Structure 1
């Protein structure tokens, strides 16, 4: 994921005991009643920069274990923060079109909304995920995204035309809510890796992948790239003969550390491929503009390719005769597509400007297991929100120390830990598979049932 500040430390191991039940020590009691003034953004950045300077030259700070004070943390678990479904209606619209090109455009529309949190908010640092920690939620889509065919019909006959089409591009209410379910688990400690699975049975859609980051501090910014186990997002259209799309992640930069205002920029290329339809997209995110150059600019090309000879990695490599569509725009505002053969009509693929993040449907507190993200970090979250940063830091430190102790105990006892919901910690390559517990947890989510049994293995 383009997880920026979420990448600045490794993972720990999850205990099944909720942190709020820890026996208070003298340090915790001393911090209990202290309410502190939260530091402003400038002070946070100075503290953060001071910590990061210790890691100049470190190849991958995402794999290094170090602890940040609670003042620098967003009161949100990492697994809850990263879900890719900031606008679930763009996900549920994938596969609606009969034309392969239009289905690729549906995938790209989802791609441009998956990190809407960066467009609408500022970078932040959630809690580090702990080994065995998991998160689950639902979304219910009540307004369908307009079809690509509708977007084409609504476009004027030429880019300069003032004639408006009567075709509506407004979202339309669905006959009944479409449920999308999400399950993720921290599956590896070294390196820190989580697996995720998204399912929408009503539309015959699923998505899965491993999330892992590599991060390097250059002295002025943090460069974040996908880790070796992160091969992107794999989306499968089960009603389209299991057509599968692989969406790879570009490198991202967290800048503004010296200016006192954090910002995310992307300057890289990424790819979306569908071997079954022999269709591929190259997206080129341009470096942040200066001296009048446009910022956040993205351009791309959709083209026919040979999966057995996938050697086109730059837009300039693609022969004009193979081009099906061209992408252009601002990935934080509006993105347009123009289609062959003349590419003259600019069709609005997505306008991010009016969009807001769609809230998740979360499990009730009484239905959450002890190693479920929201319950697991509840004590730290409550303390941060109450501005009791001393208490939050003590609770967080005790969690970290307890997990290190449990890791040592397992190592000394020769006990190997295994994920509960996914078959392997980092396998199969790029495409995690669900265990029986994982399949059952998703089935219950799809039925709106939150109760699941606590695992005896992870609770030991």
Structure 2
């Protein structure tokens, strides 16, 4: 199997080359957050960022199997295996289905995405709740749960984008917290930090995502996993490569090392396959459009998505502008009335104690700084 991104050589549609060239030039000369720039319609994705947390759940059997680990070390390895297996869906799915990386639709405040993965062979039913909890800056909060297995993941994500050396650099702000309620009554927690993205291929009109730098998984048991992302260099290496190491508590020597490509397979130092994502994944089940509420993502963006999929970019742009203008007016009305938008599934918190404790396991020079204003969590008893 080739390690070349699946979008290589696609290029820009002839009718869109002028607008794409202007867009790339605008990116190169822009000094602020690139998310505020308007992309050419053909590069837009027909889905909103609120759908992206579903990628965490596309391997429900691996998520459920974490709880079955017999030891703390075994469970730390299972968490790492599940995490690495989610990366392909999160960062290359658009390449496979749309020919190249696309810019997702910017969610509006209050936008929702709800769905589930059914119970198969006793693994338990897995559910997902996503809510756009802020528009400026755009912040998405999510909660993934397999209640029968006693495992859940909650987190939030925002992005800051910039341009450097011909690539778009995306700093992901936020984190995910995995909680395991073991049959023994013991509870384990894992802090998962988010990798930095580099979007390459812009000059050719065929963007693709490469992960860079480091991310971490820190457990309350003391185990720490480090994941170093390595793209293809000018003369060596492979696309989408990584090297993960698992450290036992209070040890500076790795107990396990795994290397490979997060888009295909990886192996441990004994040559045993650790992850293999070349097979099918399980997409989330959602209600039919007709049964969705007005704030559910696919219902909200229905006309925009249809225009994008049918290459009717005039309709897509018109409907997108209509939604955005309505949102601007709604915010003005709320400000004038002194009645801010009320979150439905999540709440803002000033401090995240779990984050503070688990982040202490990560090298202080490497741990990402969490900003208080970005922290959200799902209450024990949601108000909806």
TM-score interval w.r.t. the shorter chain?
A: 0.7 to 0.9
Cα distance change of structure 1 residues 280 and 182 upon mapping to structure 2, 3 Å threshold: same
Separation in 1, partners of 2:149, 2:21: 46
1:7-34 deviations in whole A, cap 9, x for unaligned? xxxxxxxxxxxxxxxxxxxxxxxxxxxx
1:346 alignment counterpart: 271
Q: Report the CA distance between 1:406 and its aligned residue.
A: 1.3
Counterpart check, 1:76 vs 2:47 = yes
* Equivalent in the alignment of 1:127: 105
Q: Which residue of 1 aligns with 2:264?
A: 333
Alignment correspondent of 2:8: none
Cα–Cα, structure 1 residues 249 and 220, in superposed 2: closer, same or farther, change >3 Å?
Answer: same
For 2:84 and 2:148, locate their aligned partners in 1 and report how far apart those are by CA, in whole Å. 23
Q: C-alpha displacement at 1:426, in angstroms?
A: 7.9
Q: Which residue, out of 114, 137, 146, partners 2:86?
A: 114
CA distance in 2, matches of 1:45, 1:213: 27
Consecutive unaligned residues in structure 1, runs of 5 or more: 1-38, 143-173, 307-317, 339-344, 441-460
Partner residue, 2:228: 284
Match of 2:378 in 1: 434
Q: Tell me if structure 2 keeps the 8 A contact 1:334–1:351.
A: yes
Instruction: Quote the residue 1:95 is aligned against.
Output: 67
> By how many angstroms is 1:366 displaced?
3.5
Partner of residue 410, structure 1: 334
For 2:383 and 2:164, locate their aligned partners in 1 and report how far apart those are by CA, in whole Å: 42
CA distance in 2, matches of 1:264, 1:46: 23
- Mapping for residues 192-203 of structure 1, pairs under 5 Å: 192-203=138-149
Q: How many residues align?
A: 344
- In the TM superposition, what whole-angstrom CA distance separates every residue of 1:188-227 from its partner, at most 9, and x where no partner exists? 1221111100110121110000111111122611011122
Q: How does 1:384-423 map to 2 (within 5 A)?
A: 384-423=308-347
Partner SS for 2:124: strand
Alpha-carbon deviations, 1:162-185, whole Å to 9, x = none? xxxxxxxxxxxx2x4621100010
Greater gyration radius = 1
Q: Which residue of 2 aligns with 1:324?
A: 255
What residue number does 1:217 align with? 163
8 Å contact from structure 1 (residues 327, 337) kept in 2? yes
1:141 is displaced (CA, Å) by: 5.1
Tell me, in whole angstroms, the C-alpha distance in 1 between the residues paired with 2:199 and 2:141. 24
Deviation of the 1:90 alpha carbon:
1.6
**1:19 maps to what in 2?**
none
Counterpart of 2:152 in structure 1 is: 206
**1:242–1:335 Cα change, 3 Å:** same
Q: 1:85 aligns with which of 54, 57, 64?
A: 57
Residues 1:94 and 1:132: Cα distance change in structure 2 (over 3 Å): same
Distance (Å, rounded) in 2 between the aligned partners of 1:372 and 1:425: 24
Bigger relative contact order, structure 1 or 2, given CA contacts below 8 A and separation 6+?
1
Equivalence map 1:183-262=2 (5 Å): 183-218=129-164, 220-227=166-173, 230=174, 232-239=175-182, 241-262=186-207
Residue aligned with 1:211, SS: strand
Name the structure with the higher strand share: 2
SS at match of 2:63: helix
Does residue 58 of the first structure (1) align with residue 58 of the second (2)? no
Q: 1 CA distance for matches of 2:350 and 2:137?
A: 9
Superposition CA RMSD, Å: 2.5
1:438, 1:48 → 2: CA distance?
44
- 1:237 CA drift (Å): 0.4
Task: Report the CA distance between 1:261 and its aligned residue.
Answer: 2.5
The 8 Å contact of residues 45 and 257 in structure 1, kept in 2 or not, is answered as no
**Contact conserved, 1:57 with 1:218, CA < 8 A, in 2?**
no
Is the Cα contact below 8 Å between 1:205 and 1:237 reproduced in 2? Answer: yes
**Does the C-alpha gap of structure 1 residues 427 and 391 become closer, same or farther in structure 2, counting only changes over 3 Å?**
farther
Counterparts of 2:71 and 2:131, CA distance in 1: 35
Q: Secondary structure at the match of 2:67?
A: coil
Q: Which runs of 5+ in 2 are unaligned?
A: 1-10, 353-371
Q: Structure 2: how far apart are the matches of 1:177 and 1:386?
A: 38
1:220-275 residue CA offsets vs partner (Å, 9 max, x unmatched) = 11011122xx1x22110012622011111121111011133322212211111102
- The corresponding residue for 2:248 is 304
